Structure 1
C-alpha cells in the first residue's frame, strides 16, 4: 500500500472522525390539563385544542429523536468501517512483497480497500440523504401549509401524491407503486378526476401559467423541461426525482415554470 493510498483512506475516515453529539428531543408525556366543572365551554374548547397541539408536537419530537438516533448510529458504523479499512492498509505498508505473486496480491488488496472505502462513504451519504428527506417531511407536517379546500381537485391530487412517498422511481412507470416524474403527477391528478397529459413535455402545456409568487398546492412545477414536480405548500414540492431515488419531498427551486391544471 502506498503512502498516497493511505492518505486517501485517511481522508475518507476523517469524514467520520470524532464522536457524534447526542442530539435528542424531550418527547416526555404531555402536561395534564384540568377539565374541572364550572368552567365555560369556550375554555374547554381552547384547552382541548392546545392539548391536541401539544400531543402532535410530542409525536414530532419523538419522530425527530428517532431519526437523529439512527443518524448517530450510522455515523458510528461508518467511522468503524472506514477505520478498519485504514488500519488494514497501514499494516500492508510494512509488507515487502518478495515475489510476483505476493506483489499481485498486494495490488489486489490495495484496489479492494480503495473500493471498500469508497463504498462505505457512498453508503453513508445515501443514509444521510434518507435522514434528510425524513426530516424534511416532518418539517412539512409541522408547518401546516395552507392547502386548498379539502375536497378540491388540487387538494385531492396533493394528498394522493403524498400517499406515494417512498415509492421507487422507475422510468416510464405510472403507478400505483412505481413512478417517473410525470407519471406521479398524472396519477395524482387522476385520483382527483383530472386528466393530464402523459409526459413532462406535454404537461408543461397543461393548464395556465402561474408566477412563482402565486404558486399554490397542486400546481405543476417545472425546474426544467424534462422534469415535473407537484407543489404542496411552504415552498416545497413532492416529486419522483430520478433513477435510484424514491418519491420524496423537496424544496422548490427559484428558476421554475409553473402551470395550474384547470
Structure 2
C-alpha cells in the first residue's frame, strides 16, 4: 500500500512541477498626447481613433499580465500543497505500527492524504478553467469591438465577460455563481443600472429592439425563461443551465431583445 500511495501522490505532485517562471509581460507604454491643433479634421479623427486603439491594447496587456501572474501563483500554491502531502506520506513510510490501534490510525492518515491530494488537483483544475475562460474573454475583446469604455452597456458586457467559467447555480446572483437572470442583473449593477431579478420581469425591462439592430449589452431572450447578453458579432454571454458554466454562445435566430433604459 505504501508504494502505491507514494506513486499516486507523487504523480499528482508532478502535475505542478517542472514549470519555468515566466518573465513579466511588458505592457504597452503610455504615449504622450499628440498635438492636433490646426490640423485637418480627418487627421484629428484618425489620431483620436488610433489613440483609442492603443489605449485598448494597453488595457488588454495589463489584464493579460495580471491573469498570467495569478496563474503562476495558482501553480506555485498547488505545488506546495501537493508537496506537503507527499512529504507527509514519506514520513509515514518510515514508521511501522506495532498494534491494531496504530495500524488503524495509519490507514486513516493514508485515506486522508489521498482525499487531500485529490481535492488539491480538482481545485487547481477549477482555477485553471477560470483562467482559461478569462483569456478567452480577453481574446474576444481584443478581436472584436465593444462599446466605448465609458458606456453603461460596455461596463455591463465587460462585467459579464469577467465571470466566464463561473458555475451556473439556480437562484444565484453572483459574484461567483449565477443563474441566467442573476448574471445579467449583476453585470448591469456593476454599471449602475438596476434590472429586475427574474427573466420573466427582465423581458419587460427597457425597450424592444429588432434583431437586426442588436447591440452589445442588449438582453436576448431565446424564450421567456432564459436570458442572455449580446456582446457583438452575433454572440452572447450567458449562464446556460445547471451543470454548465458562464460561457460565450452564438445568438439564436428566433429571439426577443430588450435594451435596458
The normalised TM-score by structure 1 is 0.68
C-alpha contact 1:221 1:257 (8 A) present in aligned 2: no
1:126 is matched with: 126
Size of the aligned set, in residue pairs, is 243
Which digits, 9 at most, give the CA deviation of each residue in 1:115-141, with x for residues without a partner? 111111111122222222322332333
Tell me by how many angstroms 1:241 deviates: 4.5
1:240 is matched with: 239
Are residues 1:109 and 2:112 paired? Answer: no
2:204 is matched with: none
1:252 is matched with: 249
C-alpha contact 2:185 2:195 (8 A) present in aligned 1: no
Q: Secondary structure of the equivalent of 2:255?
A: strand
2:69 is matched with: 69
Structure 1 unaligned residues grouped into runs of 5+: 199-206
Q: Secondary structure of the equivalent of 2:26?
A: coil
Tell me by how many angstroms 1:253 deviates: 6.4
Which digits, 9 at most, give the CA deviation of each residue in 1:29-86, with x for residues without a partner? 2333542665434323322221222122112101110110110111111112111211
Tell me the distance in 1 between the aligned counterparts of 2:250 and 2:90.
Answer: 45
Q: Secondary structure of the equivalent of 2:94?
A: coil
**Could you say if the C-alpha distance between residues 7 and 229 of structure 1 is closer, same or farther in structure 2, counting changes exceeding 3 Å?**
farther
Tell me the distance in 1 between the aligned counterparts of 2:105 and 2:51.
Answer: 66
Tell me by how many angstroms 1:162 deviates: 5.7
1:82 is matched with: 82
Q: Secondary structure of the equivalent of 1:252?
A: strand
Tell me the distance in 2 between the aligned counterparts of 1:81 and 1:176.
Answer: 26
Tell me the distance in 2 between the aligned counterparts of 1:229 and 1:192.
Answer: 13
Tell me the distance in 1 between the aligned counterparts of 2:178 and 2:21.
Answer: 38
Are residues 1:47 and 2:47 paired? Answer: yes
Tell me the distance in 2 between the aligned counterparts of 1:22 and 1:80.
Answer: 18
1:30 is matched with: 30
Structure 2 unaligned residues grouped into runs of 5+: 202-207
Structure 1 stretches of 4+ with a deviation exceeding 6 A read: 174-178, 185-188, 190-193, 243-246
Which digits, 9 at most, give the CA deviation of each residue in 1:186-206, with x for residues without a partner? 998x9789x9647xxxxxxxx
Which digits, 9 at most, give the CA deviation of each residue in 1:169-217, with x for residues without a partner? 54245799985225656998x9789x9647xxxxxxxx9xx9xxxx986
